Structures are given as C-alpha cells and as structure tokens.
Amino acid sequence: QEKALLEAFQQKIDREEKIEPKDWMPEAYRQNLIRQISQHAHSEVIGEQPEGNWITRAPSLRRKAVLLAKVQDEAGHGLYLYSSAETLGISRAEMIEALQTGKAKYASIFNYPTQTWGDIGAIGWLVDGAAICNQVSLQRTSYGPYSRAMIRICKEESFHQRQGYQIMLALANGSEAQRQMAQDSLNRFYWPSLMMFGPHDAESAHSARSMQWKIKRETNDSLRQKFIDQTVQQIEFLGLEHPDKAIKWNEERGHYDSGEIDWEEFYNVINGNGHCNRQRIQHHVNAHEEGAWVRDAQNAHSEKVKQRQQH
Ligand code: FAQ
C-alpha cells in the first residue's frame, strides 16, 4: 500500500500539483522539507546580525532608514518561513533549539564579519542577489506553503538587491578611498557568495532526492553558474576588478568559466569554525533569553482569553 501511495505522490508532483499540509506525504519528504525550510528561516534571522551591525553607523539618515527597513524585512521572511515549516508538524521552539544547539545550519555567508560600510553594499548586491537566484526557482517548489512564502519574499529581495547595488555604485563613483572600499568588499564577499549555493552537485547529499520531489527546482551548480554569469557585467558597470582572475567567457558552453572555490573554507564555516559562528549563536541565545518575558506574557494573555471564552 505504501508503494501505491508513493507512486501516486510522485505522479502528483510530476503533474506540477502542489502538496498541501494535510495531504499524504512520505516521511522523508516531510523531514527534508523541515530541514531545508527551517535552515532557510534561520538564515534570514541570523542574517540580520551582520547588517544590524551598521544600523547605528550608517552614513546618513536616509541610508539608516533604508537599512533598518531591510533588516526588518529579513525578520519578516524568517517569520513566514517558520510558519511554513510549522505546517509540517514541528514547533517553533524545536526549530530554535536545533539552531542554538548547532543541530540545524544556517547560510555560511552570515559567519563573515561586516567590517566597512562597503560590506553593506556588497551584502545587498551579492548576498541578496545570490539568495534571489535560488529563491526565484523555489517559487515553484512542490510544497504549497513554502512556494507561496517564496513568491512574497522574492519581491522584497529584489528591492534589497537594488539598494545594495546602489550603495556600491555610489562608492565606486566616489573618492579613491571609497572606490577602494567597494573593491575590498567585493573581494571579501564574492567567494563566500558563491558558497551560498552549496557543494558541487556531485557532493550534494540531498540534491538528487530533492530534485525528484521538486523541493529544489534547479541544482546547486546550475544556480551558481547563473549567478556567476549575471555578476560579470555588474562588476564591469561598477568599473571594479573581478576577484576571480580565471573568469573567462566560454563560447561553446555559453557561460563563463571560473576559478575553483576554496571548499576547505566552506566546510570549516558550515561546521562551526568561521569567523563569527560562536558570536552569532551567542547573540541569538542572549536575545532569545531576554525576550522570554514577552513570550510568557503572550501565553498568559492567550490563556486568559481562552478561559474568558469558556465562561
Ligand atoms: N551554508 O546536500 P546539500 C538569504 C549544507 S537567504 C550552510 O547541497 P541542500 C536572505 C546543507 O544544509 C539564504 N550550509 O544541501 C538574506 C547540508 O547540511 P545538512 C539562505 C550549507 O539543502 C540576505 C549540507 O551542506 N537560503 O540569504 C550551505 O540540498 C541578506 C549538504 O548540502 C536558503 O536557505 C551553505 N551555503 O542544498 C538574509 C535557500 N550549502 O542540512 C539576510 C533554501 C549547503 O545535511 C541578509 N535552501 N549547506 O546538515 C536551499 O536552497 C538549499 O538548502 C541549499 C543547500 C542550496 C542552501
């Protein structure tokens, strides 16, 4: 009977029908989705920290207001995604616990420090740019609540990407010191942005099954290639130097060839040994503990409302 259910499930996916929370699904589909969606949510939330670092130091009131709004958007993305994972039968508290104890991952990029204002430009441009590249394809993911969250999130992310590029444009066309700041941020954030797409397809543990079930719609390498290709002209337009000296147009493939990522650095960072891993989690733990009274108050209020309704 399980075999027949599995076949019907795959056919439904092949017909491009969405899977909804109350539909039958294989346990491995449910678990894989909980893993990916919750890690995605954690990335949005931990991603607030490197940018939050510059809210008090933004160079003008306008830049500060824009950055504040962007960071709030990321918090909102985390909330949609946690809600979408909750429809699969896991609680928010369990997901937070997995993050804080290191069982669940979040995007490696957020373990790099933001040292200059240029880094805020580079994050908006490259990190949000890489995130959109991936998320545009995830709008067609097979799980309904995840797909709908992605549609909304993508709209906001493309706006974020533009604000980052606009910061880079201002710096690249500014004084010599500003131009150097833009180049330095590009140099430091380019390679870690490529790592956001995950290991090569051949090394990717989850890809084959996620592609079959259409949780993922494109592979790590094909999305990374798209991002590499689109970034070349953006760097040229800024008048900056490409950090990858091996970048070269390949007429036959119709894509750019590029240098190899430092995979040792990637695995070090995702295994907890990046520059900021400990700091990021400690900050999250502190904020969570400081916010406990808000959750307690909310729970006590909900309890009172429930009791009032019963009488
Ligand atoms: N960092 O078998 P695969 C954003 C892990 S949103 C850390 O290829 P999969 C917005 C992977 O989890 C950015 N870990 O895995 C923003 C797995 O470990 P596990 C987040 C990574 O899932 C901007 C293991 O390696 N976006 O930035 C990374 O098929 C600015 C094996 O890898 C998403 O999460 C990595 N880079 O493919 C916010 C999109 N790469 O779980 C604030 C949704 C791989 O077995 C400011 N997620 N790993 O312990 C995905 O599309 C996929 O999960 C991938 C990885 C592509 C990230």
Separation of alpha carbons 221 and 214, rounded Å: 16
Report whether residue 12 contacts ligand 1, using a CB cutoff of 6 Å. no
Query: What's the pLDDT at 55?
Result: 97
**Ligand 1 atom nearest to 107, measured from its CA:** 1
CA 270 to ligand 1 center in whole angstroms: 10
Report whether residue 108 contacts ligand 1, using a CB cutoff of 6 Å. yes
* Tens digit of each residue's pLDDT (9 = 90 or more) over 114-144: 999 999 999 999 999 999 999 999 999 999 9
Packing angle between helix 92-100 and helix 27-46, nearest 10 degrees?
70
Beta strands 255-257 and 248-250 are antiparallel
* Tens digit of each residue's pLDDT (9 = 90 or more) over 236-245: 999 999 999 9
Cα–Cα separations (whole angstroms), residue 88 to 83, 222, 288: 9, 28, 23
pLDDT bucket at 281, cuts 50 / 70 / 90:
very high
What is the mean pLDDT of the segment spanning 233-260? 98
List, in sequence order, the alpha helices (H) in the chain: 2-14, 27-46, 48-52, 61-86, 92-100, 117-122, 128-138, 144-172, 176-195, 207-212, 220-238, 263-268, 277-290, 292-310
Query: What's the pLDDT at 2?
Result: 87
What is the mean pLDDT of the segment spanning 205-210? 96
Packing angle between helix 220-238 and helix 128-138, nearest 10 degrees?
140
Pocket test for ligand 1, best of 194, 220, 271 (most atoms within 8 A of CB): 220
**Closest to 112 in 3D by CA, of 262, 242, 224, 279:** 279
Which ipTM did the prediction report?
0.98
Query: What's the pLDDT at 102?
Result: 96
Report whether residue 107 contacts ligand 1, using a CB cutoff of 6 Å. yes
Query: What's the pLDDT at 311?
Result: 79
For the purposes of burial, counting CB atoms within 10 Å of the CB of 82, is it exposed (0-12), middle (13-18) or buried (19 or more)?
A: buried
Query: What's the pLDDT at 41?
Result: 98
Query: What's the pLDDT at 291?
Result: 96
Percent of the chain with pLDDT over 90: 98
Residue 97 has pLDDT above 90, yes or no: yes
Taking the model in full, what pTM does it have? 0.97
Pull the structure tokens for residue 65.
């207001």
Query: What's the pLDDT at 1?
Result: 80
CA 111 to ligand 1 center in whole angstroms: 13
Round the average pLDDT of the chain to a whole number and report it. 97
Pull the structure tokens for residue 270.
């995702």
Percent of the chain with pLDDT over 70: 100
Report whether residue 39 contacts ligand 1, using a CB cutoff of 6 Å. yes
* Tens digit of each residue's pLDDT (9 = 90 or more) over 138-196: 999 999 999 999 999 999 999 999 999 999 999 999 999 999 999 999 999 999 999 99
What is the mean pLDDT of the segment spanning 47-57? 97
